[in-house]
Amino acid sequence: MESTENRYSLALKQITKTANSALPVKKVITSIAGCTAKALQTTGCAIMILNPQKEHLDLIGAYGLSDMYLRKGALNARKSYPEILDGKTIAVADIFADKRSQYPEHAISEKITAFMGAPIVQKEEVIGQIRVYNREKRHFKPIEKDFLSTVSNLIALTLEKMELNQYLSSYHEANILQHQKLTSFSRLPLIPIRPTNFSHPSEEEFARLLDFYQVEWLYEPRSFPLAWEDKRITEMFTPDFFLPEINLYLELTTTKQSLMTEKNRKLRRLKEIYPDINVRLLNKGDYLKLFAKYGFISLGENKIAGVQKILFNRTQIQRRVKSLAKQISRDYQGKDLVLIGILKGVLCFMSDLMQNISIPVSVDFMAISTPTNNIDTAIQITKDLDLDIMHKDILMVEDIVDTGMTLNYILNYLAARNPASLKVCTLLDKSARRLINVPLDYVGYEIPDQFVVGYGLDFRGKYRNLPFIAVLE
């Protein structure tokens, strides 16, 4: 009988060999899942990566699990065994006695009882999970946990290698490598791996549009049974996309009337059986209307003309603002807090930030002269504060900090009025342009050295009203 150590050794040997091969990423990950399940003698294995918001898990490879189980729905990493998201390897001998299972009814259908999961970590950051499943109750041993953790580390290295290859390949095609010298892997902007094969070119086009507007998506994440015969499923419907941020399933339509009629029939049936499921049939003309309805963009050609790409959509901005407000509320509990902003760019950020702060707060604004071509012209305050800030806790709220020269001037000006404390909260930090090292206590996002507009930021007085932040062409 083959020993446990020998099984593990052979599995790791095969995994490293496959990871170092020229196989496509989908085949590599699927092979790793198979080797892992066989070595641990479990029913199946699934490998998933986190979406950018670290909320949902996107399946990238699996072995031994049915299509119905794999498409049970989007897996919420913060609800389904959240300890893995914190970097822990966990084991559950009986899923049905554990409240952390997100889809227990599907586990029953798949006859899965035991479970073990480990985080996939890159550079001390959890980027995904590997999970193994077993049909019988099972108390996983420490050596089995160690083996799964080792495999997860190999997956992290494999993904990093493939991201590097993608980066080098894209730059080689653009003929840029001959002008640049790569000196450190840590400087490479890793490209998210989406090993997705689309069924139709229109789906790939729509996915690219979602990526442009920074809308998180999952491709064909769930299949819904629509008809049964003697408890055997005879018909299913799998929507093309799921948008986790707005909990919406989308099925793209075509111009063929026969296909549209059949899809409409299936959608009506789906809504009858699953009334709580939010699903919509979408044609090409509906794309921008959908994005506008849910606040990802504003309708009107004049509002998006000249936008090269979107850095952060409305949902992402609001989520980050709420996070900053929560931290500020906690840090300033019991203090006399005053928010101060410089008109006009900070208007959107200030409005949303103060509405989400849960403690009493005062607000005031200043205005300064705009730069001119006359280098002898100094910064001038054209509107001063209305409040007396002496002995009060001041939080300077900025839309963006780049050189730091204006902010440094304002901070010195405010410090002369003897506040109890003086700190800075900025939505955007463009550190690449920094000339004066001003302290930033709360930062929403770090951005590259690009000209951005939207959410209060303007170009010659325009684009302030965009609900997202975008790079201007």
Instruction: Please state the domain extents for the chain.
Output: 4-187, 201-294, 310-472
pTM above threshold 0.85: no
- What's the CA gap between 297 and 310, in Å, rounded? 10
The CATH fold of domain 201-294: Endonuclease; Chain A (3.40.960)
DSSP string, 125-157: EEEEEEEEEESS-----HHHHHHHHHHHHHHHH
**Which position has the token pair 């950020």?**
349
- What's the CA gap between 56 and 49, in Å, rounded? 8
User: Which of these, 337, 345, 392, lies nearest to 366 by C-alpha position?
Assistant: 345
The CATH fold of domain 310-472: Rossmann fold (3.40.50)
Q: Which residues does the annotation mark as catalytic?
A: 402
User: Which of these, 150, 147, 159, lies nearest to 42 by C-alpha position?
Assistant: 147
Q: Output the tens digit of pLDDT for each of the chain's 473 residues.
A: 567 888 899 999 999 998 888 787 778 888 999 999 999 999 999 998 887 667 788 888 889 988 778 877 778 888 889 899 889 999 999 888 888 888 887 888 888 999 999 999 988 888 899 999 999 999 999 999 999 999 999 998 888 877 655 544 544 444 433 333 333 333 333 334 454 577 777 787 788 777 766 677 788 878 888 888 877 778 888 888 888 777 888 888 766 666 678 888 888 888 888 888 888 888 766 766 666 666 555 544 334 566 777 888 887 888 889 999 999 999 999 999 999 999 888 999 999 999 999 999 999 999 887 654 444 456 788 888 999 999 999 999 999 998 888 888 899 899 999 999 999 999 999 888 788 888 899 999 888 888 888 888 888 888 888 888 888 87
User: Which of these, 104, 73, 175, 93, lies nearest to 134 by C-alpha position?
Assistant: 93
Q: Which residues sit opposite 445 in a β-bridge?
A: 428
User: Which of these, 47, 44, 36, 45, lies nearest to 144 by C-alpha position?
Assistant: 36
Angular region, 215: left φ>0, alpha ψ -120 to 50, beta rest? beta
Cβ atoms of 212 and 310 within 8 Å: the answer is yes
Q: Which listed CATH number (3.40.50.720, 3.30.499.10, 3.30.450.40, 3.40.50.10240) goes with 4-187?
A: 3.30.450.40
